[in-house]
Amino acid sequence: MLAHIIIALQKRGIYAVAIPIQNVEKNEKVTAWRPSFLDRNGSWKAKKVPSPLIYYNRIMGRKRERTEVTQKAIERIKKNQKIYFNPRYLSKADVHNHLNKSTLTEYIPTTIIKPTPQEALDCLSKWTKVYLKPLEGCQGRGIYRIEKWHHGWKAIGIQQYGTKNLFFQQEQKILYWLSKVLKKRDYLCQQGINLDKWKNRQYDFRVLVQKNGQGYWTYVGAGIRLAAPGHVVTHRPNGGQVVKPERVMVRKLGYKGWKDKKTELAELAEEASKTIEREYKSLFGLITMDVACSEEGKLWILEMNSKPGSFDEGPIQRKSYDLLADYVRYLQDQRRNSNEHIHSL
């Protein structure tokens, strides 16, 4: 992914390199790495380059981002007044709290942060199903869907190598299981949305929003991720399938209905990105979102991500690279004009 970003920026006239964390802002010149255009083996070449003006954080892994080495590198970037965007992973708890008190509250499912086992179970008296999601997780791993099942409860869990079904007939047994799950890591408990289905499989939107060459958030595009049969999440590593939105939404809403819904999707995605940037008081350049569509056609924001992978949809990914190059040029121009108010636009 990192090599693809660097090569794409180079093709668009941006001199981009990868700098190991320990080298960041250590000297006026640093050892950086660039992937070879011509080498099909994926080799990288090292080169001494001037310490850059702009840093785009592509550190993968929350634990790695929190290490002392990384935090000291970030301190050096700030001390030297360099431009630094997408500075951190987003917290599911923060995203929920920020959006829930914004103008987008109607798009946010009811959520309890760090519930007790009894609180999680009590939610099923209000909703037919709930989702337990790790506050710091990725690719759907660690997610459970819990629902009423005959005279008891059923939990479907997403594990590294597939799903796991659990059944409970006694309240004390499901409470005991919940206590073990919630003790291992921090979770949120989220209202289960009755997701719309296509070919009897749940789906949601993966949405990309980016800053453009004027520094404004703009909707780039969206694809649909169709869950594998019997699965409760739509992520590709869990068997999710890529589908063009038009195939699904025109059948559901008609051409005009889908056009109106896409406008709503774009507007809420842009507003959500502005809100997150404003509340985090940090500079962001691109954000992806998972947005669900209910059986009734209502949109719900499920997650936001500041460290997105590449899009499977070629046109969206190419436009993303174009916008990233434009945004980097914008940041350069802003610094050249001594205008540091470069976020929350």
45 contacts: CB under 8 Å, gap ≥ 6? 33, 34, 35, 36
pLDDT surpassing 80 at residue 301: yes
Among 71, 31, 70, 77, which Cα is nearest to 53's?
A: 77
In this structure, the number of other CB atoms found within 10 A of the CB of residue 88 comes to 16
DSSP string, 133-196: EESS--TTTT-EEEEEETTEEEEEEEETTEEEEEEESSHHHHHHHHHHHHHHS-EEEEEPP-B-
pLDDT at residue number 345: 29
C-alpha span between 97 and 276 (Å, rounded): 10
C-alpha span between 96 and 301 (Å, rounded): 9
pLDDT surpassing 70 at residue 339: no
- Tens of pLDDT, residues 5-15: 999 999 999 99
pLDDT at residue number 40: 63
pLDDT at residue number 228: 75
- Tens of pLDDT, residues 20-52: 999 999 999 999 999 976 556 678 999 999 999
Average pLDDT over residues 260-271: 98
pLDDT surpassing 50 at residue 226: yes
pTM for this predicted structure: 0.90
- Tens of pLDDT, residues 178-206: 999 999 999 999 999 989 999 888 899 99
pLDDT at residue number 277: 97
pLDDT surpassing 50 at residue 154: yes
Taken as a whole, the chain contains a residue count of: 345
